[in-house]
Amino acid sequence: MVGKGFERLSAQDSSFVIFEGLGSHIHVTAIAVFELGPLLASQGGLDMQRVRAHIGSRLHLLPHYRKKLAYTFLQRHCIWVDDPRFDLAYHVRHTALPRPGGDEELKEITGRIASQPLERDRPLWEIWFVEGLAGDRFAAVAKVHHSLVDGVSGVGVLTSLLSPTAETTIARAPKWKPQPPPGILDFLGDGVSRSAEFSVSVARTLIDAVASPRAAIDNVAEGAGAAWETLSGGLTRPAKTPINQPIGGQRRIDWKDLDLAEVRDIRKRLDGSINDVVLTIVSGAVRRLLRRRRVSLKGLDFRITVPVDIRDGEADLGVQNKVSSWFLSLPIAQRDPKRRFERIRDQTRRLKALNAARGIDLFMRLADASGSTLLPSGLVAIVSILNPYNMIVSNIRGPEFPLYLLGARLTEFHAHLPLFENQGLAVAAMSYLDKIHLGLTGDWDLMPDLAEFARDLDAAASELREVADGS
C-alpha cells in the first residue's frame, strides 16, 4: 500500500527481509552474456557511459529501484522510501576479466559478487558489467534482493531494461525528484486507512457469501484444502543430507544448458510437462550427487519446494513477489528414470488438481489484509526451525525472442537463487531462445563439487532422453 512518501512491503516481500536477518544473503543473481557489437567504445572496451545513461533512462519503469528499505515508527513494518542520495554509478558497476576470459572465470567472479550482501541503506540492487570475455563478449551480473523480484517479475525487469529490437538510441530520462521521508502523522493516517480497508474487505466478503452461499462454501472448501496441503507439507521434516547443514556466506556458481526442443520432445513422449522433465533431470542429478557422497538412498525423503506463480496475467512491476510454492519429494531412490518421471508427474498433477499453490497465498493475503507483522514473522520462524525442504528448484519461462542492450545481442541468461538456512544447493531453470539454462547456486563449503553436479545434470538428461526415445 502506498502512503505519503512511503510504501509498505507486502507480507511476502517482508518475509524475505526477515529471512535475510537470520544470516542468509537473500538476493537473486543473474548473468546475462552479450555480444559487444555497437557498445564497443571508441577507445576500445565497453562503452559504460552509454550503458549507464540507458539504464538511467529506464528506471522510471522500475520505481522501486530508487527506493531503500525503512521501517514504520511503532509497528516496525517494512516500507520503501525514496533514496535522496540515489547514485546510479553506485548501482551500475564496471569490472573486467583477464583476457580472454571464459565461462570458468565468469563463474568465479559471479560467485564473488553473489557472496557479498547488499547494503541495506541503499536501494537493494547492483549490476556489474564484466568486460574481457572471449569472442568480443561482455556480461552483466545483476544482484537484486528477493523482496524486489521473483522469477516472473524478474523477466519483466529484464524486458524493461532490454529491447526486442537492435535499437541503439537512448531515450530521454524523465526527471525524478525524491519524496521526503514520512512523519509520524503519515504512519498514523495510513494505519487508520488500512483498518478501514480491512473492515470493508470483510464486509464485502460477507455480502458475497450471503448472495452466493454455494460458491462461498466451495471457495472455503477449496481454500481449506489448499491451506492443509501447505501446512502438512511445511510441517514435514525432510531427510538430513550432507548438503543440508549450516551454510556460510560464500557462494559457488555454475550452470548447465538444456536444449529446449529436446525437452519439449521428452515431455511429449512421456506425457508430462516441461516442469516434470526439469524436476526429473534434477532428481537424477541429486541421486548421483548423494551416491557420490556415500549417502544411503533407501527410504530417503528428499523434499523440494517449487515456486509457483499465482498472477492472473502479466507481471506487474509494482508487485515484486506474487508466488506460492509446491512441496514434493524427489524419487531419488528410484533407479529407473522413466519411473522417476512418472512419480514426479503424479505429484505435480495432484498438486495442480488441489490448487495447492493457493495455500501460502491465503496466509499472505490474511497478513496483508490485517496489517499484522506477526504472521509473516511467525511463518519465517517456523520455516527456519523446521527447514521443511532440502532444496529449492524453480522453473521460469523466459523470452523466446532475442533481446538487445543498445544493439548488443543477449546470447545467454542464467538465473541463480539465494540459499536459505541449512540449504547448500539451489537450482533455477529459465528458458531463453532455444535453451533452458539451469543456474546452480552452491554454498562454498557444502558444495565443493558443484561443477561435478552440473555434469550430473547432463548425465541425468541423457538417460531420460534415452528412455523417452524408447517409449
CA atoms within 13 A on the CB side of 192: 5
> What's the rounded Cα separation, in Å, for the pair 25 and 265?
37
Whether 214 is covered by a domain: the verdict is no
Residue-wise pLDDT tens digits, 10-69: 877 888 888 886 568 999 999 999 999 999 988 888 999 999 999 999 999 998 999 999
Give me the domain span that covers residue 313: 228-391+440-469
Whether 320 is covered by a domain: the verdict is yes
Whether 266 is covered by a domain: the verdict is yes
Q: 306 forms bridges with which residues in the sheet?
A: 326
Percent of the chain with pLDDT over 70: 76
Find all residues with CB under 8 Å of 228, minimum gap 6, and list them.
359
Residue 350 clears pLDDT 60, i.e. is over it: yes
Q: What is the DSSP string of 285-303?
A: HHHHHHHHTT---TT--EE
Amino acid making up residue 201: S
Nearest to 16 by CA among 92, 69, 95, 83: 69
Residue 208 vs residue 155, higher pLDDT: 155
Residue-wise pLDDT tens digits, 452-470: 999 999 999 999 999 999 8
Q: Is the peptide bond before 418 cis (omega within 30 degrees of 0)?
A: no
Whether 405 is covered by a domain: the verdict is no
> What's the rounded Cα separation, in Å, for the pair 400 and 435?
9
Q: pTM for the whole thing?
A: 0.85
Q: How many structural domains are present in the chain?
A: 1
Residue-wise pLDDT tens digits, 395-444: 999 999 999 999 999 999 999 999 998 999 999 999 999 999 999 999 99
Whether 456 is covered by a domain: the verdict is yes
Residue-wise pLDDT tens digits, 197-226: 444 444 454 455 455 655 544 444 444 444
Whether 424 is covered by a domain: the verdict is no
Residue 439 vs residue 322, higher pLDDT: 439
Residue 227 clears pLDDT 60, i.e. is over it: no
Whether 282 is covered by a domain: the verdict is yes
Q: Which residues of 103-124 are buried (b: 16+ CB within 10 A; e: fewer)?
A: eebbbebbbebbbeebeeebbb
| Contact status, residue 194 vs residue 370, Cβ threshold 8 Å | no
| Contact status, residue 15 vs residue 361, Cβ threshold 8 Å | no
> What's the rounded Cα separation, in Å, for the pair 320 and 386?
26
Q: Which three cell numbers stand for residue 199?
A: 473492515
Residues 439, 443, 449, 453: is their CA dihedral positive or negative?
A: negative
> What's the rounded Cα separation, in Å, for the pair 203 and 101?
62
Does residue 180 sit in helix, strand or coil?
coil
Quote the mean pLDDT of the chain.
84
Query: Quick count: other Cβ atoms within 10 Å of Cβ 298?
Result: 6
Whether 299 is covered by a domain: the verdict is yes
Q: Which residues of 73-96 are buried (b: 16+ CB within 10 A; e: fewer)?
A: eeeebbbbbbbeebeeeebbbeee
Q: Which three cell numbers stand for residue 207?
A: 455480502
Terminal-residue alpha carbon distance, the chain: 53
| Contact status, residue 405 vs residue 373, Cβ threshold 8 Å | no
